[in-house]
Structure 1
Amino acid sequence: MLIIPAENSVNWRKPPWVTLGLMMACLLIFLFYQGDDDRKMRVALEQYLDTDLLALEAPAYEDYLERQIRFEDNTGRVRDLERFESLRRDNERLWQAVTLLTDREFYRYLQDNAGLIWAPADRRYWQEYRSTIEQQWLSRISAYQLGLVPAELSLSTLVTYQFLHGGWGHIIGNLVFLFLLGFTVEKALGPGRFLLAYLLCGALSGLVFTGFSMGSTTPLVGASGSISGLMGMYVAIYGLQKIRFFVFLGVYFNYFRAPALAILPVWLGKEIYDYWFAGATGIAYMAHAGGLLAGAALVWLFGKTWLQVKQEFFEPEPEEQDAQFTAEYARAMNSLAQLEFDQARRQFEALREQYPERPVLLEHLYQLAKLRPDQPAYHQRAREYMEQLLAGRQPEKMIAIWQEYLGKGESYRPLAADDHNRVLFASLRHQDMKTAEKAFERLRKSASPEVVEEACRLMIAEFEKQQMATKARHYRQFLHGDNHSPA
C-alpha cells in the first residue's frame, strides 16, 4: 500500500532550490563517492575466496545462527540459516562469501570468540588474512565509513548517513519521494528552515533506529528517515484541513481527499506492523516511524516560532489565482449584463479586496459609481481611479476622468486641491495649456497661497517657453497681486 500527499504542484517560477540541491548532493555522492564501493567489495571477495577463509568461517556461521535461534530466541534468523545451508549444498561459494563478509555482527562474533572456535594455527591464519581484507577494503566502503552504525553512534554519522544509498533502486525511489514532498514543505517553511528541519528529522530518525537496534553493527544508509520526516511535517502543516492524496494498492490507484492528520496514524501503523511482521527485508521500518513522528512533532512544537509556515504558502498558485479570478470576474460581468448593478458592485469590491493589483476592477467600480454622481462613492472612486491612472502612467486618461467628474460630480462634492494640482502638472508636461489653465482656475479657488503661487510660476515659465507673451504677462500680473483671473 502506498499513500502520498498530492495537494500541490511545483511552481517553476520559484523553484525549490534546497530540495533540488539535496537531490543533487545525494546523486553526486552516490556516483562519485560510493561509485567505487563495488570494486572494493569485488576485490575483498576475490581475496576472501583465494585465501580459502570460507572453509573456516562457513561452519562457524552455521553454528552462530543456530546459537542465536536456540539461545537468544531470534526466530528471524531461521530463514537466514535455511538460506545459507541451501547455498552450501549447492556449493555457491561466491554467495556464501557475500553473506559472510556483509554480516557485520558475525564478524564481531568471530573477533570475540576466535580462540574458542579454531585451533591456534587456524586462528592466526584467519586473523592475518581476514584483518587485511577488513582494513584494506571493507572498512573503506562508504556504508562502513559514513553510515549510521548503532554500535558506533556519532553525531557526524547522524547526518552523513542521510546522503548515502544502497543501490540505484534505493536512490531513485528516495529522490522521487524527496522531490514530491520536499517542494511543498520547502515552500511552506522557506529554504533555510526547511534544510535544518530536514537534517534534524534525519538525525532523530537515526536515533530512533539506534534505540531499536542497540549494539548492531549493521550500518543504516539512505534518506528514507529524513523523507519520512517531510511526510510528518507535510500533514502537520495542513492539520485537519482536507487535502488530496494519491493511493496505490496492488493494481488499484486513485486520488482521495481526507484530513491531512488522519493519514499520520495510518503511515505509523504500517511501519510498526511491518517492523514486527514483515521479517528480514533490509528496510529500516522504525527509522521511517521515527522520521514521521519527528517531522510532525517539530511542526507541533515549533510551528508558531522558528518553524512557522509562511503566510503566502496557503495562497493559490498564480495559475490557480488566474483561473479563480477569471471565473469570479465572469460572474461579476454577467451581473452587469443583467443590469444587476448593486450585485455587480459587491462582486467587484470583493474581487478588488482579493486582487488589489488588478487595475480593471477599479475601472468597473468607477463606472458603476458614476451612475449616481450625487453619492459619495462617485467622489471616492473618481479620486482613486485618477491616482491609479497617474501611477500607471496614463495621464491623458486621468485628465479625461477629471474633466468628466467636473461635469458630473463637482457640483455635489468638489475635488481636493491635490487632484487639480496633479492634473495641472500632467497637462504642463504634455503642453496641454487649455487644460492646464482650467486646472489652475480650480486650484486657485481651493489651494493655499503658496501652492497657487508655485502653480502660477509654472504657468508663466511654460507660456514663455512657448513664446506666448500675452498669456505669460497675465499670469505674472496675477502673481504680483492682481486677483482677477488671467485672460
Structure 2
Amino acid sequence: MFFAIPLTNKPTWQSPPWMTVLLIVINMMVYWGWQAPEDRLMQRNAERYADSGLAAIEVPRYIDHLKQTTPSDPRGKEHLDAVQAMWGAKAADVLYVDMWHEQDFRQALLAGRVITVDDPQYEDWRSRRTRVTPYEPRPFTWRWALHFERGLSEPWLNWLTATFLHGGVEHLLGNMVFLFLFGFTLEMALGSGTYLVMYLLCGMGASAVSLGMHAGSMGLGLGASGAISGLMAMYVVMYRLRRVNFFYMFMFYFNYARWPALVMLPVYMGHELLQQWIGNQGVDYMAHFGGLCSGALLMAALMMVKKLEAPSNLAPPEAKPMTDDEAQAQASIQRAQRLSDELDFSAASQAWQTAARLRPRDASVLEPWFEVARHFPDSEGFHAAAKGLLNLPANDTAARRRLHTHYHAYLKLAKPGMRLSAGTLVHLIPAFAKLQAWDDAQHLARVLHRSTPVHPKWPETLTQLVHSLVHHKEFEAAMRWLPALQTHAPTDPITQMLARSHPPAP
C-alpha cells in the first residue's frame, strides 16, 4: 500500500471551492439516492429468491451461460468456479446477487429466451417468477457503469457516468477525501469552469484506458478514482519542480517529506503499473493509470496556452531578510537553547534576557527565560522574566489561564517575595476576575488599593472586579468593596446600585 498527499496547501474560504464541494455532493447523492437503495432491495429480494425454489431451475442454466461466455478469460474461469462452489453449498441468496450483476443473462432470462415456452419447466418457472420479479429494483449501477466485455464499444456516456458510481461506503468516502485534497487547489488555480471540464475529461480518459486494457473480460468498472488520479497528475505538473510538503505511507511506514512535485508523477504511475502486474483484484489500477496520463497531458497542454499561477498559500513564502535586531534575537535564542542543553542555566538566563529585550512581547522567549531563571528565584532576571510574562495580553480564556499559572509559579518561588508593579496589578485583576479566581483577584485588588499614590486606572479596575462579582452572584464579596467604590468611583452605576441595596444605618 502506498499513497502520498500534499500538506502545504489549505483551502481559502474567502474563495470557497464550490465546484469541488458540488462534485462531492453529486457523488454522495448518486450513491445514497440510487445505489444504496438498489443494494438494499436486492439483498431483501435475495431472501425471497432463496425461498421461492427458482434457484433449482435457473442456476444450472446460469452455469451453462458462464461456461459458454467465458472460455478463455482467466477471471471468468475463476468466477465460474466460485459460482459452482456456491451452488454446491446451495447458497441461493448469494447466487441471486451474483446473477443480478450478470444483467445480460438476466435480461435474456426475463425475456423468456433462456427458459422457453416449450421447456417442460416453463410453467413452474413462470409461476415462481411472478412471486419474485415484481419486487426487484430496476438495475441502476449496471445501467451506468462500464462493461469490460464491451471494450471501447461501450457508449461514451457510460465513460462519464461510471465515474460517479461507487462500490460501497468505504470506496465512496476514500475517493471523496482525495477529491477534496487535490481538487480545491486545482479549482483555485484553474477556476471552477476549467476545473470541471478537466475533471470530466480525466474521468473519461481513465475509462478509455480501463476499457481498452480489460476489453472482453468480465466485470464492471466504476468509481471516481480514475478522475481523481487525473487531478493528482494535474497537481504535480502544475507545481513542476517546486518543492511541496507531502505526507506519504508505504506499507506500515509513514513520514513527511519535501519533494519537487513533479517527482511524484512517475512514482504514482509506477505504483499503479506495479499493482496491475502483481494482479491485485477488486481495484481497477489501469483506470488510475489512465487518469494519471490524461491529467498530466491535459495540464501540460493547458500550461502551453495559458499561464497558471499556483495559489499563493500553497507555496512556502520566501524568507525575508532579517533586520539586525531580528538576527541578534535569533542568535541569542539559539545560544540560550544551547546553554540550557548544557545545563548552564545562569548563562542561558542572560541569553534569554538579551532575546527578551528584542522581543519583549514574545511568549516563546519569555516562557523559557522564566523556566531557566526559576533556578535563581532571588535574581533580577527571574523577577524581570515574571514581569514580562504577567504583562502579556489576556485576550481569551486560554491566555488568562496561562497568566494565572505563571502568577502562581511566581508567587511560590519568588524570593524574598513578588515584585508586582501597580501596572501589572491593573492588568492581572480583571483577567483573574474573568476566570472567577476571586481570591487572587481580590488579594491583588487589596494590594493595589493600599498602594500610594492611587493608580490612574484603579477606579476602572475596581469597578470591573465588582461588576464581575455581582454578575456571578458573589454579592457578599461585592458589598465589601462598597466603601472603596464610594471613594474612588462614587458615580458609577454599580456603586449606586450597591448603595441602594445597603442603605446607611440611622
State whether structure 2 residue 290 is matched by structure 1 residue 293. Answer: no
1:163 corresponds in structure 2 to 164
* Helix, strand or coil at the partner of 1:192: helix
Deviation of residue 178 (structure 1)? 0.7
2:475 corresponds in structure 1 to none
What amino acid is aligned across from residue 171 of structure 1 in structure 2? L
Deviation of residue 292 (structure 1)? 0.7
State whether structure 2 residue 145 is matched by structure 1 residue 147. Answer: yes
Tell me: CA distance 1:5–1:155, structure 2 relative to 1, closer, same or farther (3 Å): same
Residues 125-173 of structure 1, C-alpha deviation per residue, up to 9 Å, x if partnerless? 66887699679735x2331233334537334333332222221111111
What amino acid is aligned across from residue 166 of structure 1 in structure 2? G
2:89 corresponds in structure 1 to 90
What amino acid is aligned across from residue 97 of structure 2 in structure 1? V
The 2-side partners of 1:124 and 1:56 are apart by 11
1:233 corresponds in structure 2 to 234
Q: Is the 8 Å Cα contact of residues 103 and 142 (structure 2) preserved in structure 1?
A: no
Q: Is the 8 Å Cα contact of residues 245 and 255 (structure 1) preserved in structure 2?
A: yes
Q: Is the 8 Å Cα contact of residues 5 and 243 (structure 1) preserved in structure 2?
A: no
1:260 corresponds in structure 2 to 261
The 2-side partners of 1:238 and 1:6 are apart by 11
Tell me: CA distance 1:133–1:185, structure 2 relative to 1, closer, same or farther (3 Å): farther
Deviation of residue 58 (structure 1)? 2.6
Root-mean-square deviation over aligned CA pairs: 3.8
Residues 196-218 of structure 1, C-alpha deviation per residue, up to 9 Å, x if partnerless? 11111112211222223335674
2:2 corresponds in structure 1 to 2
* Helix, strand or coil at the partner of 1:4: strand
Tell me: CA distance 1:300–1:118, structure 2 relative to 1, closer, same or farther (3 Å): farther
What amino acid is aligned across from residue 299 of structure 1 in structure 2? M
2:305 corresponds in structure 1 to 305
Tell me: CA distance 1:317–1:210, structure 2 relative to 1, closer, same or farther (3 Å): closer
* Helix, strand or coil at the partner of 1:11: coil
Deviation of residue 185 (structure 1)? 1.7
1:100 corresponds in structure 2 to 99
The 2-side partners of 1:201 and 1:291 are apart by 5
Q: Is the 8 Å Cα contact of residues 165 and 222 (structure 1) preserved in structure 2?
A: yes
What aligned pairs does 1:29-428 form with structure 2 within 5 A after superposition? 29-66=30-67, 71-72=71-72, 74-104=73-103, 107=106, 120-122=119-121, 137-138=136-137, 140-149=138-147, 151=150, 153-214=154-215, 218-279=219-280, 281-305=281-305, 308-309=307-308, 311=309, 313=310, 315-316=312-313, 321=317, 324-325=319-320, 328-330=321-323, 334=327
The 2-side partners of 1:112 and 1:285 are apart by 36
* Helix, strand or coil at the partner of 1:304: helix
Q: Is the 8 Å Cα contact of residues 143 and 220 (structure 1) preserved in structure 2?
A: no
* Helix, strand or coil at the partner of 1:203: helix
After TM superposition, the score normalised by the length of structure 1 is: 0.57
Deviation of residue 124 (structure 1)? 7.0
Tell me: CA distance 1:58–1:273, structure 2 relative to 1, closer, same or farther (3 Å): farther
The 2-side partners of 1:304 and 1:135 are apart by 57
Whichever of the two has the greater Rg, that structure is 1
Aligned length: 327
Moved more, 179-188 or 37-46: 37-46
Tell me: CA distance 1:62–1:6, structure 2 relative to 1, closer, same or farther (3 Å): same
Q: Is the 8 Å Cα contact of residues 105 and 217 (structure 1) preserved in structure 2?
A: no
Q: Is the 8 Å Cα contact of residues 104 and 218 (structure 1) preserved in structure 2?
A: no
1:394 corresponds in structure 2 to none
* Helix, strand or coil at the partner of 1:273: helix
Tell me: CA distance 1:269–1:118, structure 2 relative to 1, closer, same or farther (3 Å): farther
After TM superposition, the score normalised by the length of structure 2 is: 0.55
Deviation of residue 192 (structure 1)? 1.8
* Helix, strand or coil at the partner of 1:246: strand
The 1-side partners of 2:90 and 2:236 are apart by 51
Q: Is the 8 Å Cα contact of residues 43 and 137 (structure 1) preserved in structure 2?
A: no
1:440 corresponds in structure 2 to none
Tell me: CA distance 1:333–1:265, structure 2 relative to 1, closer, same or farther (3 Å): closer
Q: Is the 8 Å Cα contact of residues 38 and 139 (structure 2) preserved in structure 1?
A: yes
The 2-side partners of 1:13 and 1:229 are apart by 24
The 1-side partners of 2:132 and 2:147 are apart by 20
The 2-side partners of 1:216 and 1:134 are apart by 28
* Helix, strand or coil at the partner of 2:247: strand
Residues 12-52 of structure 1, C-alpha deviation per residue, up to 9 Å, x if partnerless? 33332221221122223322333421333135424533443
Tell me: CA distance 1:214–1:330, structure 2 relative to 1, closer, same or farther (3 Å): same
The 2-side partners of 1:125 and 1:272 are apart by 51
What amino acid is aligned across from residue 98 of structure 1 in structure 2? V
What amino acid is aligned across from residue 270 of structure 2 in structure 1? G
The 2-side partners of 1:229 and 1:62 are apart by 39
2:488 corresponds in structure 1 to none
* Helix, strand or coil at the partner of 2:182: helix
What amino acid is aligned across from residue 53 of structure 2 in structure 1? D
The 2-side partners of 1:20 and 1:162 are apart by 16
The 2-side partners of 1:145 and 1:44 are apart by 19
Q: Is the 8 Å Cα contact of residues 182 and 232 (structure 2) preserved in structure 1?
A: yes
The 1-side partners of 2:262 and 2:116 are apart by 54
What amino acid is aligned across from residue 157 of structure 1 in structure 2? N
1:351 corresponds in structure 2 to none
Q: Is the 8 Å Cα contact of residues 76 and 217 (structure 2) preserved in structure 1?
A: no
Q: Is the 8 Å Cα contact of residues 53 and 128 (structure 2) preserved in structure 1?
A: no
Tell me: CA distance 1:331–1:214, structure 2 relative to 1, closer, same or farther (3 Å): farther
Q: Is the 8 Å Cα contact of residues 143 and 219 (structure 1) preserved in structure 2?
A: no
What amino acid is aligned across from residue 12 of structure 1 in structure 2? T
1:463 corresponds in structure 2 to none
Residues 193-247 of structure 1, C-alpha deviation per residue, up to 9 Å, x if partnerless? 1111111111221122222333567443221111011011112112233333322
Please list every run of 5 or more consecutive structure 1 residues that lacks an aligned counterpart in the other structure.
Answer: 339-487
What aligned pairs does 1:472-487 form with structure 2 within 5 A after superposition? none
Q: Is the 8 Å Cα contact of residues 4 and 246 (structure 2) preserved in structure 1?
A: yes
The 2-side partners of 1:226 and 1:19 are apart by 12
Q: Is the 8 Å Cα contact of residues 148 and 158 (structure 1) preserved in structure 2?
A: yes
What amino acid is aligned across from residue 288 of structure 2 in structure 1? H
The 2-side partners of 1:337 and 1:90 are apart by 75
Q: Is the 8 Å Cα contact of residues 2 and 251 (structure 2) preserved in structure 1?
A: no
The 2-side partners of 1:265 and 1:300 are apart by 15
Tell me: CA distance 1:275–1:116, structure 2 relative to 1, closer, same or farther (3 Å): farther
Identity %: 31
The 2-side partners of 1:121 and 1:157 are apart by 40
